[in-house]
Structure 1
Amino acid sequence: MAEFLDLESQDSVRMPWNVLPGTKADAANCVIPISAVYTPLKPLPAATPLLPYSPLRCRNCRSVISPFSIVDFSSINKIWICSFCLQRNHFPPHYQSISEQNLPAELFPQYTTIEYETTAPHEKAQAGSSNVFLFVVDTCVIEEELGFLKSALLQVLGMVPENCLIGLITFGTYVHVHELGFGQLPKVHVFKGTKEVTKDQLLEQMGFFTKRPRPTTGVIAGVRDGLSQESVARFLLPASDCEFVLNSILEELQKDPWPVPSDQRAARCTGTALSLAAHLLGVCVPGSGARIMAFLGGPSTEGPGAIVSKNLSEPIRSHKDLDKDSVPHYHKAVKFYEALSKQLVHQGHVLDVFACALDQVGVAELKVAIEKTGGLVVLAESFGHSVFKDSLRRVFQSGDNDLGLSSNGIFEINCSKDIKIQGIIGPCASLDKKGPLCSETVIGQGNTTAWKLCGLDKTTSLCIIFDVIKKENPDIIAQSANNQFFFQFLTYYQHGSGQMRLRATTLSRRWVAGPGIKEDLISGFDQEAAAVVMARQVSFKMETEAEFDPIRWLDKSLIHICSQFGEYQKDSPSSFSLSPRLSIFPQFMFHLRRSQFVQVFNNSPDETAYFRMILNRENIANSVVMIQPSLISYSFQSGPEPALLDVASIAADRILLLDSYFTIVVFHGSTIAQWRKAGYHELPEHQAFAHLLQAPRDDADAIIRERFPVPRLVICDQHGSQARFLLAKLNPSATYNSDGVAPGGDVIFTDDVSFEVFLDHLQRLAVQ
């Protein structure tokens, strides 16, 4: 794996195939598509310069000059040849002094990824404009929850940078838009929750044109289009100016006053509140980096976007209801949020959702708006839970662990002519820029070569899926002197400092075609990247294809890969072997089949949507932990060491640390638990035991500090009720009907097959 990690640290890219099949037929045989998982804002190596000028672009295909461009220094007017379309381009006058000894940074061979400070003409964002946070707060929650939420919000208000603008909307049965600009007399605009409010009604009702006449033409949005600065400043104020007003409003904030009959749910108009928030930002700050941060404490029951009726006798939809299509509100709500997501993408704004409730709040319906705008999502059981409080704090944290939130991104792809783009699975929205590079087959956000990234951060990762279109042709193999495919990823974005930047990453990968290419393909296979691409694909198919059987699809793909790339004699399972480059892949697939992305039983639609959204935005290292958790064992005999993700790893005198990304479990074996309950670690003569207990806690804290959303920490003992968090993730090699368990070990009560049985079946089927 080492060389793939090196490639990632240089170019932020991981590809399942690093040697590519060169023809359509070869690519189809590879099962896992030609794809790349790219993290546009991954921090660059310290030595990489930031270039203070705009890049040179090819006059034909608009790609940016890179170390792969061929430069002719000998001609009088120096020329560079584009590696994508082979167009010859002249250097502008200020490049005349370059030579082979005096190269500009963008031609250095090690700078295949480089960043430019740019103010490109199509970027509407005002350079230096401040970020905007609009808090949308649900007040239909019990007093205790509201107290937790208020204290969390008051805490982060002090962390918001001074020049950021802040606004506040609270909602319950009605929506309240708070004016912060006149602190002496707090003023609130109230809207009915059951009705949808248009942009014009909002302008009218909130008195945007009391001081000056309304412009007759054009879109009315922002200071440039005829809105006065003071009318915007009534609702959105710099953090330093409105801290006092906001503090007093939040401290006095009461639970929604409307009575709720005992057989009903509270009247909560989430959809109307979010729609008003989107209109308000669209009117005041179009095209600047703005985030709607919604804090939801229960399901929406009123107005557009409702997910359930007020009657408690009607249960909230489950996966079974979705399968049977007996969901009266679901499709209508999704349609409403699709329209909202289009509006937000058009405005360049982000929707973040913090859903904290024991019941579902409608994350499954909101998914489309969160994902297309690149929003953050956090799911917790209560506003008092550390998962919520610490995650919210991380959003505003600066320093080592800041998220690197950026906005207003546009992502473009260029590639060699024999390869096309099927689409992207990840947090982005298509800009419908069709062209010759778009494939007929569409996966995810396809039919375009440019995407909008309203919000993105240091770990936002896009999975780009390509299509090789080169047909079999004896000539191509003969002229394989130029057997390189080129890819270029361009990301324009507004940096946290307010300036516009362009990051250009250019890659080259060798392709092979014809018979005897198996060894070449295996030599460039990245098992981790392959597992993550399969996970994103299977999640996407489960959501978009009716009657799709994920287990069957994964099994068929795996059997095909093993029979294609394994070494064996026909019909002899015992002769089967896989190259070390492929040997862990079946194990990843075994755990993916059992993961929360594929098994929806026991999870609500909200939880499933949440898990998949995070899978679709995280980088390879984090996604692999979600698919196959890591397990570390601590004992007196040895230091911390990796353990097999298997029930056989449990022992009475061991502590196990399981990291499954969303949950971190510290699991004490039965003897360790007894000693701890007896208080041995508090005695001076048992220092070693105290250190042993502390080591996994320290490691868990280190993981928690770096992760977003903050994971849930579970500390449990063998045979305790919470041990299920560990047992559910282990390979059931010892179950209630297997012979002999090691003393002090454990069994799992399941009828699932173990990894050994799975591998056995796989070998039998692969050699047929």
Structure 2
Amino acid sequence: MSEIPNTDQEGIDSVRMTWNNWPRTKVEASKCVIPLAASISPIRPHSEIPTLPYPPLRCKTCTSIMNCFSRVDFTAKIWICPFCYQRNHFPPHYSMISETNLPAELYSQYTTIEYTLGDKNQNPAGDFDAKSAFVFVLDTCMIEEEFEYVKSEFKRAIGLLPENAMVGFVSFGTQVQVHELGFSDMSKVYVFRGTKEISKDQVMEQLGIGVAGRRNVPGAGVGGYQQQKGMHMQNSGVARFLLPASDCEFTLNSLLDELQTDQWPVAPGTRASRCTGVALSVAAGLLGACLPGTGARIVALVGGPCTEGPGTGLKLKPLMDSILDQHLVVAILTILHIDFVTHGRTIHVPCDILKYIDQMPFQIISKDLSDPVRSHKDLDKDAAPYFKKAVKFYDSLAKQLVSQGHVLDLFASALDQVGVAEMKVAVERTGGLVVLSESFGHSVFKDSFKRVFENGEHSLGLCFNGTLEINCSKDIKIQGIIGHCTSMEKKGPSVADTVIGEGNTMAWKMCGLDKSTCLTVFFDLSSSEKSNNPGALNPQLYLQFLTTYQNPEGLMLLRVTTITRRWVDSAANSEELVQGFDQETAAVVMARLTSLKMEAEEGFDATRWLDRNLIRVCSRFGEYRKDDPTSFTLNSFFSFFPQFMFNLRRSQFVQVFNNSPDETAYFRMLLNRENITNAAVMIQPSLITYSFNSLPQPALLDVASIGADRILLLDSYFSVVIFHGMTIAQWRNLGYQNQPEHQAVYQAFAQLLQAPKEDAQMIIHDRFPVPRLVVCDQHGSQARFLLAKLNPSATYNNANEMAAGSDIIFTDDVSLQVFFEHLQRLAVQS
């Protein structure tokens, strides 16, 4: 078992594909087992990408953009589209084009190129030159210590924002408070009930914004607004609730100093009333009323589960807690003319009663601390009836945010769950960020939150209003995308009948994207064996990715990436097909597809599905004699793939029994948005060993790599572990690294201790979210963070076969060696 070096293989195009040579027919593609897919990072920065100050040329038939693969007739001033073979005339300003005078888009090295489309339209902020807006939604149902942590980080974030960034503030607990920042002389707050869903129009009416609120706005004349020249109706809301960071920093800091935790009384043994869903609805309505279409983010800081109003995700309590409640419900049902049957303290009513229950004045969701938050077992058994309802609510919120062009970012910190699993749909479809930590005082939250607002080399490069459009050669169909985006339902000839993820379209919306955003596109082939199109005999296929987005400076850009790959006759020449296989990309694509199926398909057995596909891959591409496992050898282009699948089967993406639904949702969201190199580390962590005898070097991801005189550095993406062998830990505890005698020896020991710390900080420094740093010793309690990721080649079952002093793992999981033996036997069966 060996490691694949983590080098950047994406190049200027930021595209990696499972297969770099494609079979020509649908039947041959199905025999490949691993789907035809491409992973693309739409706006990943690269120094060699030129930016052109003029608009691109589009094909008049298929609307693809002229690129370096277009054929040009310099005499007739015509270019031929490689996608549809349409002949297009150059416009007059290309009249000087020649073989020695080419525009940049025709240079062969510029397969990726950017065009400047101009500034974003004047936004409704009036005179403010706002390029982005941030509405902070702060949970106040926390213990005092946590509340002080989050307020401190909130203040720091305000100081890091650009001066012209618009800022709004919403706090919530039992009720929702929208803080008016434009009236700094006196604190003014608008309060919304936390038990009822709030529409955008209701938000506008209560806040006095737009047409619905004309009568409520001070200074409105007869018949409505006395609207100033050139100012939009939304300006009243912008001036009152959304201000530039430079103008409201003092007001916000003062407000936060005075802000207290939620004062609503909480009975002993119960959870606080927290109306997260209503708070996010109000924030979305505020942005929709004030800054529709402008790059804006809702930054939600949540410290516990939603227990009030829409978006609740806890288990149901028995409907009736007391005889008084029962009589009250009976009276309400009678007034509403709803049929019901009573059996003691149990009331049986039709399913549609839920819509009435939502509006009842008493609590129906369990706040009792003895009732646990839903688990994976509850979801599997459909024993968490409010889960689906909460997901449906956040799905509708996602649609609203996408239509407005706004993003939901989620920062959740709690020892228990907060509802990330329910909110996942809204975060993913808007392209939002997500960070899950144990405490607002933990470095995972503090350092990650700071990076969102930092500039310079540490900036995430937050961009807005992105769209992705894909053009394909004929006979290539798009099944869909897995990633942080939403289908725009744009039909076209390249749309496939089957759907994976966000499909039924050839264009997608990305309200928020950054330099780390990565999408996985799944392709299919038409079923026809032969095609009548002019390019049927062309050995090359073409794909073009068009990404339009607003950069942090407010400039609209179009990035065009055009790539080509070869068609191969896989039936006649499978070796050429095999040579184009990218096993690292294939492993990540299979992980993303597995995660999607586990969420979308009821009763889906992920382990069995992965095993069957791996056996098919080995049977198809391995070399062996029938029914002779000892003769099995796997092509070198597939040599790491079984190892990836072994680790995927054991990973947190497939084995969910040890994680909460929130943790699983968090892991999968990051898996779906990171590039191939980072996602591969999530599946198969990297391990480096440090010792006196050699330089730091990669080690096998195996329990055999543990040594008493070694230090190991494990990077599993979500956590970074520094593991000290027993002897190293004893010497460190005795302070040998600090003793002046025998300076050369102890200086070497001090350097040995320091090296993994420096390497760990380099990993943490460049990653978002910031991983958890675990420093542990052999046989210590936190050594489990390392042992859980290692191949269990030594367990309690074969401990007697191991050398004295060797570490063992207490597990019944099979080792990689046993796994591969089973795989060989099954792959060669007749």
Task: Give the TM-score range, shorter chain.
Answer: over 0.9
How many Å separate the matches in 1 of 2:507 and 2:182? 39
Q: CA deviation at 1:579?
A: 1.7
Of 26, 45, 49, 2:28 maps to: 26
- Contact residue 204 and residue 285 of structure 2 kept, 8 A: no
Q: CA deviation at 1:200?
A: 2.2
How many Å separate the matches in 1 of 2:535 and 2:66? 25
Of 274, 281, 292, 2:280 maps to: 274
**2:774 corresponds to 1:714:** yes
Residue deviations 1:303-349 (CA, integer Å, cap 9, x gap): 11111222223221000000000112101100100000000000000
Of 719, 733, 737, 2:797 maps to: 737
Residue 96 of structure 1 corresponds to which residue in structure 2? 95
Residue deviations 1:261-316 (CA, integer Å, cap 9, x gap): 01211000000000000000000001011000000000000011111222223221
How many Å separate the matches in 1 of 2:199 and 2:605? 42
Q: CA deviation at 1:84?
A: 0.6
Change (3 A) 1:52 1:474: closer
Residue 43 of structure 1 corresponds to which residue in structure 2? 45
Residue 587 of structure 2 corresponds to which residue in structure 1? 531
Q: CA deviation at 1:250?
A: 0.8
**2:525 corresponds to 1:468:** yes
**2:783 corresponds to 1:727:** no
Q: Which amino acid aligns with 1:86?
A: Y
- Contact residue 223 and residue 284 of structure 1 kept, 8 A: no
How many Å separate the matches in 2 of 1:465 and 1:433? 16
- Contact residue 500 and residue 522 of structure 2 kept, 8 A: yes
How many Å separate the matches in 2 of 1:574 and 1:314? 54
Q: Which moves more between the two structures, 305-314 or 645-654?
A: 305-314
Residue 547 of structure 1 corresponds to which residue in structure 2? 603
How many Å separate the matches in 1 of 2:532 and 2:87? 25
Q: CA deviation at 1:173?
A: 0.5
Q: Which amino acid aligns with 1:41?
A: I
Q: Which amino acid aligns with 2:688?
A: I
Q: Which moves more between the two structures, 199-208 or 616-625?
A: 199-208
Residue 201 of structure 1 corresponds to which residue in structure 2? 202
> Per the alignment, in what secondary structure is the counterpart of residue 234 of structure 1?
helix
How many Å separate the matches in 2 of 1:427 and 1:479? 34
> Per the alignment, in what secondary structure is the counterpart of residue 10 of structure 1?
coil
Q: CA deviation at 1:47?
A: 3.4
Query: What RMSD, in angstroms, separates the aligned Cα atoms of the two structures?
Result: 2.3
> Per the alignment, in what secondary structure is the counterpart of residue 8 of structure 1?
coil
Q: TM-score, normalised by structure 1?
A: 0.96
**2:696 corresponds to 1:697:** no
Change (3 A) 1:733 1:344: same
Change (3 A) 1:85 1:124: farther
**Alignment of structure 1 residues 190-339 onto 2, 5 Å:** 190-208=191-209, 209=214, 210=217, 211-212=219-220, 226-308=232-314, 309-339=366-396
How many Å separate the matches in 2 of 1:747 and 1:676? 24
Q: CA deviation at 1:740?
A: 2.8
Of 623, 633, 641, 1:577 maps to: 633
> Per the alignment, in what secondary structure is the counterpart of residue 746 of structure 1?
coil
Q: CA deviation at 1:122?
A: 11
**2:705 corresponds to 1:626:** no
Q: Which amino acid aligns with 1:162?
A: E
Which sections of structure 1, spanning at least 5 residues, go unmatched?
A: none
- Contact residue 50 and residue 113 of structure 2 kept, 8 A: yes
How many Å separate the matches in 2 of 1:214 and 1:452? 42
How many Å separate the matches in 2 of 1:630 and 1:763? 26
- Contact residue 223 and residue 229 of structure 1 kept, 8 A: no
- Contact residue 419 and residue 470 of structure 1 kept, 8 A: no
- Contact residue 123 and residue 291 of structure 2 kept, 8 A: no
Residue 137 of structure 2 corresponds to which residue in structure 1? 136
Q: Which amino acid aligns with 2:207?
A: M
How many Å separate the matches in 1 of 2:815 and 2:674? 28
> Per the alignment, in what secondary structure is the counterpart of residue 11 of structure 1?
coil
Q: CA deviation at 1:744?
A: 3.6
Change (3 A) 1:613 1:499: same
**Alignment of structure 1 residues 656-671 onto 2, 5 Å:** 656-671=712-727
- Contact residue 215 and residue 226 of structure 1 kept, 8 A: no
Q: CA deviation at 1:225?
A: 8.7
> Per the alignment, in what secondary structure is the counterpart of residue 688 of structure 2?
strand
How many Å separate the matches in 2 of 1:215 and 1:454? 37
Change (3 A) 1:121 1:713: closer
How many Å separate the matches in 1 of 2:720 and 2:181? 41
Change (3 A) 1:216 1:577: farther
Of 350, 363, 380, 2:407 maps to: 350
Change (3 A) 1:322 1:501: same
How many Å separate the matches in 2 of 1:637 and 1:629? 24
How many Å separate the matches in 2 of 1:420 and 1:434? 12
**Alignment of structure 1 residues 17-166 onto 2, 5 Å:** 17-44=19-46, 46-75=47-76, 78-119=77-118, 129-166=130-167
How many Å separate the matches in 1 of 2:5 and 2:736? 47
Of 698, 705, 709, 1:649 maps to: 705
Which sections of structure 2, spanning at least 5 residues, go unmatched?
A: 315-365
Percent identity over paired residues: 63
Residue 189 of structure 1 corresponds to which residue in structure 2? 190
How many Å separate the matches in 2 of 1:680 and 1:516? 66
Q: CA deviation at 1:399?
A: 1.3
How many Å separate the matches in 2 of 1:323 and 1:13? 36
Q: CA deviation at 1:184?
A: 1.2
Residue 462 of structure 2 corresponds to which residue in structure 1? 405
Q: CA deviation at 1:479?
A: 8.7
Q: CA deviation at 1:435?
A: 1.6
Q: Which amino acid aligns with 1:108?
A: Y
Q: TM-score, normalised by structure 2?
A: 0.89
Q: CA deviation at 1:213?
A: 6.6
- Contact residue 222 and residue 283 of structure 1 kept, 8 A: no
Residue deviations 1:642-686 (CA, integer Å, cap 9, x gap): 000000000000000000000000000000011111111111321
Q: CA deviation at 1:21?
A: 1.2
Q: Which amino acid aligns with 1:749?
A: F
How many Å separate the matches in 1 of 2:80 and 2:425? 42
Change (3 A) 1:481 1:120: farther
Q: Which moves more between the two structures, 486-495 or 310-319?
A: 310-319
- Contact residue 416 and residue 487 of structure 1 kept, 8 A: yes
Change (3 A) 1:319 1:649: same
Count of residue pairs the alignment pairs up: 761
> Per the alignment, in what secondary structure is the counterpart of residue 400 of structure 1?
helix
Residue 331 of structure 2 corresponds to which residue in structure 1? none
Of 600, 605, 614, 1:558 maps to: 614
Change (3 A) 1:52 1:91: same
Change (3 A) 1:125 1:649: farther
Q: CA deviation at 1:472?
A: 2.7
Residue deviations 1:188-242 (CA, integer Å, cap 9, x gap): 111111122222222222123223479999xxx9998941524311100000000
Residue deviations 1:345-383 (CA, integer Å, cap 9, x gap): 000000000000000000000000000001000000000
Q: Which amino acid aligns with 2:33?
A: V
How many Å separate the matches in 2 of 1:703 and 1:154? 27
Q: Which amino acid aligns with 2:78?
A: I
Residue 491 of structure 1 corresponds to which residue in structure 2? 547
- Contact residue 6 and residue 677 of structure 2 kept, 8 A: no
How many Å separate the matches in 2 of 1:229 and 1:547? 51
Residue deviations 1:554-584 (CA, integer Å, cap 9, x gap): 0011010111011111111111111221100
Change (3 A) 1:213 1:558: farther
How many Å separate the matches in 2 of 1:323 and 1:125? 47
Q: Which moves more between the two structures, 638-647 or 742-751?
A: 742-751
Change (3 A) 1:128 1:504: farther
